[in-house]
Amino acid sequence: MTQASGTLPPHAIPPYAVQDDDLALLTDLYQLTMLQAYWGEGMRERATFSLFFRRLPETRRFMLACGQQHAAELATRLRFRDAHLAALAETGLFDDAFLEWLGDWRFTGDIWTLPEGTPVFENEPFMEVDAPIVEAQLLESLVMNLVQLETVIASKAVRVVLAAEGRPVMDFGLRRMHGVDAAVRGVRAYRTAGLAGTSNVLGGLRHDLPLSGTMAHSYVLAHDDEEAAFRAFARRYPGTTLLVDTHDTPEGVRKVIALMDAEPGLRVGAVRLDSGDLGALAREARALLDDAGNPEVKIVASSGLDEWQIAALREGGAPIDGFGVGTEMGVSSDAPVIDLSYKLVEYAGTPRLKHSPGKVNLPCRKQLYRRHDAEGRFVGDVIALRDEPGIEGEALLRPLVRGGRLAAEEMALAGEARERVADALGRLPEALRRLDPGPGDYPVTLSPALQRLREQG
């Protein structure tokens, strides 16, 4: 194994999180050693790398391709700084001439991407990078890391949204997600997937999802009694949500009712249930509130919820008006990874293919076509060669970066991801919108030319 070490220059205050300026260096060592080898061997021909996954997780019927357009945008502004080059020099693995070249490294190629939020299936390209191999190779590790996160999170979240059947779902996952980047970019994925709000202030402000919040048990406990806590918070935040399970849920609801009776001007928007049998407690709370003449006070629930539990609560008719979802959605606990690959499929104009028994490997530059029926419903996809004529359907891969420059009008479409997903959900076969696996696979076929190439390969 090539082993090496080096040091970054000391900071007056060491950075805690990863700063944008350092992202070029967030790569696997072998990308840099391979780059130097290509460079030294004079291998400057254009390559195409294709980003796709081979297999859906067992508990997914489709994935939402997310993060690829943002990753492509970032690729156009990756730069190696002097501090990076100094640290790489110290490893002893790299020549001065190569490091000088790396200091001038810019991405000058093309990147084709699916629009943010496109539903995708096995073997379908999310992104294809056409560039000199010394540029396309370098993007691998970072692009995979970035796309993996948003795709995994959005694809879990959309199931939660579907299970809630129109009831608002709020992200409460900041504390459980894997680090600060996951928590913040996760909110972008949640926005795409259709969540109604987030408790995450930085995430919501940065990625344009409404902020949402209630109160914590600690607030109740810091007061002398629950009534005092409810009164102070509801006076301060008219229409807020009060957390009623600190001691006993029905008792908490009764205190909210007593408070509203005692102060008729006080508005309480909702009560939140955060423990126990949520279905039974919601029914009891609803009855108490209705009997007291407060049908306008809503009930929101949280406490380890996932799409299955929400579906069960909905099926059981629990009168819950909104769901706060954290842990299970925040790490996509049933499917925390997708087996993304970033494969060399063409070099110097020649198809390239790894021999992988039992695996589908598709050579050459490609395009993905989605076919619709007369009502606009998706009826099947065709993976074809990029320039193959005569393939029906909507061509989904679009050139977002050309010659290292971002097409601003294409990038602007990334902002419409939420609307795209909402629209696409209505066009997906109904079977795919169910949580359970079952009959109704989505047909993905290979074009005639790609089929021929595979058989030759």
Restricting to residues 20-59, name those near its own copies by CB under 8 A: 20, 22-23, 25-34, 36-38, 40-41, 43, 47, 49
**Residues, the chain, total?**
457
Contact call for residue 295 and its own copies (CB under 8 A): no
Give the nearer residue to its own copies in terms of CB position, either 70 or 370. 70
Which listed range, 8-16, 58-66, 386-394, 425-433, lies at the site for its own copies (CB under 8 A)? 8-16
| Residue placing its CB nearer to its own copies in the complex, 17 or 408 | 17
CA distance 73 to 68: 9
List the interface residues with its own copies, window 172-191 (CB under 8 A): 172, 174-186
Minimum distance from residue 359 beta carbon to its own copies (Å):
9
- Which span sits near its own copies by CB under 8 A: 196-204, 309-317, 395-403, 432-440? 196-204
Nearer to its own copies, 332 or 369 (CB): 332
What is the per-residue DSSP string for 100-122?
HHHHT----SEEEEPPTTEEE-T
Tell me if 233 contacts its own copies by CB under 8 A: yes
Binds its own copies by CB under 8 A, chosen from 63, 64, 120, 146: 146
Alpha-carbon distances of 440 from 2, 164, 169, 319, rounded to whole Å: 48, 22, 27, 31
Shortest Å distance, C-beta 135 to its own copies: 13
**How many residues belong to the site for its own copies (CB under 8 A)?**
122
**Helix (H/G/I), strand (E/B), else coil: 144:** helix
When the beta carbons of 8 and 431 are compared against its own copies, the nearer one is: 8
Contact 65, 122 (CB under 8 A): no
Residues 6+ apart with CB under 8 A from 74: 23, 142, 146
Residue closer to its own copies by CB (options 91, 451) is 91
Candidate ranges 16-24, 259-267, 393-401, 414-422; the one touching its own copies (CB under 8 A): 16-24
Nearest to 207 by CA among 154, 285, 139: 154
Examine residue 360 and tell whether it contacts its own copies (CB under 8 A).
no
Please state, in angstroms and rounded to a whole number, the distance separating the CA atoms of residues 298 and 99. Answer: 61
Which one of residues 103, 287, 291, 333 is an interface residue with its own copies (CB under 8 A)? Answer: 333
Q: Per rule CB under 8 A, is residue 214 in the interface with its own copies?
A: yes
Candidate list 127, 195, 244, 300; residue touching its own copies; CB under 8 A: 300
Shortest gap between Cβ of 339 and its own copies (angstroms)?
A: 8
Cβ proximity to its own copies: between 312 and 337 the closer is 337
Task: Check binding of 353 to its own copies (CB under 8 A).
Answer: yes
456 forms part of the interface with its own copies (CB under 8 A) = no
Nearer to its own copies, 22 or 416 (CB): 22
Kindly state the smallest distance separating residue 448's Cβ from its own copies, in Å: 25
Spatial neighbors of 40 by CB under 8 A, at least 6 apart, are 95, 98
**Nearest distance from residue 50's CB to its own copies, in Å?**
11
Q: Counting contacts by CB under 8 A, is residue 217 touching its own copies? A: yes
Residues forming a β-bridge with 171: 198, 325
Minimum CB distance to its own copies, residue 231 (Å)? 10
Locate tokens 């629009």: which residue? 115
Closer Cβ to its own copies, 13 or 374, answer by number: 13
CA dist 347 and 48 (Å) reads 7
Contact 197, 209 (CB under 8 A): yes
Choose, by CB under 8 A, the member of 139, 152, 157, 256 that binds its own copies: 152
d(C-alpha 132, C-alpha 348), whole Å: 9
Write the burial class of residue 96 (CB in 10 Å: 0-12 exposed, 13-18 middle, 19+ buried). exposed
Measured CA angle at 144 (ends 134, 304), to 5 deg = 170
Distance of CA 380 to the CA centre of its chain: 24
CB 48 within 8 A of CB 137: no
x/- mask, its own copies, residues 251-270, rule CB under 8 A, reads ------------------xx
Element containing residue 152 per DSSP (H, E): helix 140-164
Rounded Cα distance, 50 and 127, in Å = 6
Classified as helix, coil or strand, 130 is strand
| Pattern 303-322, its own copies, x by CB under 8 A | -------------------x
Residue 93 found at the interface with its own copies (CB under 8 A): yes
- Under the binding rule (CB under 8 A), the answer on residue 103 touching its own copies is no
Say if CB 48 and CB 139 are below 8 A apart: no
Interface map 154-173 toward its own copies (x if CB under 8 A): ----------------x-x-
Number of Cβ within 10 Å of residue 357's Cβ equals: 4
CA atoms of 265 and 235, how far apart (whole Å): 9
Among 331, 383, 397, 446, binds its own copies (CB under 8 A): 331
